[in-house]
C-alpha cells in the first residue's frame, strides 16, 4: 500500500491541493516536504503528535521531511483560529524549545544521514528588508482574499492587528524559500493551516511559476469536536518531566469510547488489517482496545519499557494489588514530621494531588482520599511515622490518582 493510501485509510488526510497529482508524486518520486512547528512551548504536546506521525509515515516511505522551526514566525504568533494574540518570545527561549522538540521527535523521526532536515525560518526571515519584501512578496497577496479566509473570521470579530496579518505572508514566503533552497515541493500541516498553506502554493506559482502542493491532516478532535489533549492541568505533554509516562498512559487508557478507533488509526503504526478487527467491538471489549491504544502510544513516545511499566502499574492498582514500583512518587524527609506524624492534608499538597489545602480538606470530607487503602475519614488525620515502616505509603485521591510517598 502506498503512503498516500495509508494516510488516507487512517483518516489522517483532510484537504489536498491536487489529489491526483499528489498521489502520483508520492508513489513515483522521493520528495522533500515540510511541516512547520512554532516552538512556543518547551515540549511538544499531543496536538503535535499527529504531525509527527504523518512525518514518520512519509519518512518510512522514503520521503525526506524538512522540519521547520518557526523561530521567526514564533515572534509573531499565528492568529489562525486563535482568539487572542499570542505573547511574543525571545530568541533564547525559542532556541531552547526547538531543541526540546527535536529531542522528542527523535523517537519517531530518523535524523541520521540527511534523512530529515531541520531549518529555522528565523535564519531567513529576520534579515528581510521591509521594502524589498513587500515589493517582491507582498504584492502577491490580496488583503480582500486573506480577510475572507475562514481562519481569520473569528479574529475579524474581535480585532486583528496588522502585525498578525503578516503571519500568512511569512509562512508563504517560507515555502517559497524552501522550494528554492531545498527543492521542497509539498507542505503539510494541520487542517487549521490550510489557508496559510495555499498561500504558499499560490506564491510559488506567482513568483517562480512552479507548481507545489499542500496537504492538511485532520486535527485530533474528540467526538464532540473539541481539541483533544486539554486536561485540567494543561496540555498532554510528550515530555516525561512534564507528564510522567504513567500519566501519559492513563490519558489514553481513559479515552472516550467514541475516540478510540480514530486514535488507533492516527496515532499508532498497528497495521490497518488489525485495526479493522476492532472496529466492531462494543462495550467492555472496547475497553480492552483502550489498553492496547495506551500501550502502543506510550511505546512510541516513551519506550517499550515505559509502556510495560505503565501497564503493569495500572493493572495492579486497579485490580487492588500493589505494584508500586512505577507509580508517580515523591519523597519526604523525617524533618517534615511533627511529633512523629504528618497531616494528610500536607501530604496531599506535597504530592500535588490538590490545588490548595482547602481543596484537600474538601476531598477528604467527601471520602475521596485513602492511605494504603484505608479511607481517610477526617481532615485532621495524620500519617504516623510507623506507617512508613516499609519505606513508603500509597496515597490515593479519587479512583485514579496514586502517589507513592517515600520517606528518606
Which residues of this chain interact with RNA, rule CB under 7 A? 157-159, 231-232, 250, 253-257, 282-284, 286-287, 290-291, 314-315, 318, 345, 355-359, 361-363, 366-368, 397-401
Q: What residues contact residue 290 under an 8 Å CB cut-off, 6+ apart?
A: 252, 253, 254, 255, 260
**372 catalytic per annotation:** no
- The H-assigned helical ranges of 279-365 are 283-301, 304-319, 344-350, 357-365
**384 catalytic per annotation:** no
Q: Which of 23, 82, 206, 362 is catalytic?
A: 82
The nearer residue to RNA, 54 or 266, going by C-beta atoms, is 266
The nearer residue to RNA, 294 or 301, going by C-beta atoms, is 294
CB of 299 to RNA, least distance (A): 15
CB of 291 to RNA, least distance (A): 7
The nearer residue to RNA, 208 or 256, going by C-beta atoms, is 256
CB of 354 to RNA, least distance (A): 8
- For residues 68 and 121, the answer to whether their CB atoms sit within 8 Å is yes
**313 catalytic per annotation:** no
- For residues 368 and 383, the answer to whether their CB atoms sit within 8 Å is no
Distance CA 18, CA 186 (A): 11
**375 catalytic per annotation:** no
Q: Which of 8, 23, 60, 86 is catalytic?
A: 86
The nearer residue to RNA, 358 or 391, going by C-beta atoms, is 358
Distance CA 151, CA 197 (A): 12
How would DSSP label each residue in 144-179?
Answer: HHHHHSHHHHHHHHH---HHHHHHHHHHHHHHHHHH
The nearer residue to RNA, 212 or 235, going by C-beta atoms, is 235
Q: Which of 180, 181, 231, 377 is catalytic?
A: 231
Phi, then psi, of 119 in degrees rounded to 5 = -135, 165
Measured in whole angstroms, the distance separating CA 402 from the mean position of its chain's CA atoms is 24
Report the relative pairing of strands 382-384 and 392-397 from DSSP bridges: unpaired
**216 catalytic per annotation:** no
CB of 118 to RNA, least distance (A): 35
**230 catalytic per annotation:** yes
**82 catalytic per annotation:** yes
CB of 362 to RNA, least distance (A): 4
**40 catalytic per annotation:** yes
Distance CA 331, CA 328 (A): 11
Catalytic residue positions, numbered: 40, 45, 48, 82, 86, 171, 192, 227, 230-231
Amino acid at each position: 500500500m502506498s503512503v498516500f493510501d495509508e494516510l488516507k485509510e487512517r483518516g489522517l488526510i483532510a484537504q489536498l491541493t491536487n489529489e491526483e497529482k499528489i498521489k502520483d508524486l508520492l508513489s513515483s518520486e522521493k520528495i522533500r516536504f515540510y511541516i512547520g512547528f512554532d516552538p512556543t512551548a518547551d515540549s511538544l504536546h499531543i496536538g503535535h503528535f499527529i504531525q509527527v506521525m504523518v512525518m514518520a509515515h512519509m519518512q518510512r516511505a522514503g520521503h525526506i521531511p524538512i522540519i521547520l522551526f518557526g523561530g521567526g514566525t514564533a515572534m509573531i504568533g499565528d492568529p489562525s483560529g486563535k482568539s487572542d494574540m499570542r505573547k511574543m518570545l525571545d530568541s533564547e527561549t525559542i532556541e531552547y524549545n526547538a531543541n526540546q522538540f527535536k529531542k522528542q521527535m527523535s523517537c519517531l523521526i530518523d535524523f541520521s544521514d540527511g534523512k530529515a532536515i531541520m531549518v529555522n525560518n528565523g535564519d531567513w526571515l529576520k534579515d528581510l528588508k521591509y521594502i524589498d519584501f513587500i515589493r517582491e512578496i507582498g504584492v502577491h497577496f490580496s488583503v480582500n482574499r486573506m480577510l475572507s479566509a475562514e481562519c481569520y473570521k473569528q479574529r475579524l470579530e474581535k480585532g486583528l492587528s496588522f502585525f498578525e496579518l503578516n503571519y500568512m505572508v511569512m509562512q508563504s514566503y517560507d515555502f517559497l524559500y524552501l522550494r528554492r533552497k531545498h527543492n521542497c515541493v509539498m507542505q503539510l500541516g494541520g487542517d487549521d493551516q490550510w489557508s496559510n498553506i495555499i498561500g504558499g502554493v499560490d506564491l510559488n506559482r506567482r513568483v517562480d511559476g512552479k507548481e507545489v502542493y499542500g496537504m492538511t491532516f485532520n486535527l485530533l478532535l474528540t467526538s464532540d469536536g473539541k481539541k483533544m489533549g486539554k486536561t485540567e492541568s494543561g496540555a498532554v505533554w510528550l515530555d516525561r518531566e512534564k507528564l510522567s509516562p504513567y500519566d501519559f498512559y492513563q490519558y489514553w487508557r481513559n479515552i472516550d469510547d467514541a475516540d478510540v478507533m480514530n486514535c488507533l488509526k492516527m496515532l499508532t503504526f498497528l497495521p490497518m488489517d488489525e485495526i479493522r478487527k476492532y472496529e466492531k467491538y462494543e462495550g467492555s471489549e472496547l475497553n480492552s482496545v483502550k489498553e492496547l491504544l495506551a500501550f502502543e502510544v506510550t511505546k512510541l513516545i516513551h519506550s517499550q519499557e515505559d509502556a510495560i511499566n505503565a501497564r503493569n502499574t495500572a493493572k495492579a492498582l486497579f485490580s487492588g494489588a500493589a505494584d508500586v514500583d512505577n507509580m508517580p512518587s515523591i519523597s519526604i524527609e523525617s524533618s517534615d514530621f511533627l511529633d512523629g506524624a504528618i497531616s494528610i492534608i500536607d501530604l496531599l499538597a506535597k504530592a500535588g494531588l490538590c490545588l490548595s489545602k482547602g481543596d484537600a480538606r474538601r476531598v477528604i470530607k467527601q471520602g475521596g482520599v485513602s492511605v494504603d487503602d484505608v479511607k481517610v475519614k477526617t481532615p485532621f488525620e495524620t500519617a504516623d511515622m510507623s506507617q512508613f515502616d516499609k519505606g513508603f505509603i500509597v496515597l490515593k485521591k479519587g479512583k485514579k490518582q496514586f502517589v507513592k510517598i517515600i520517606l528518606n
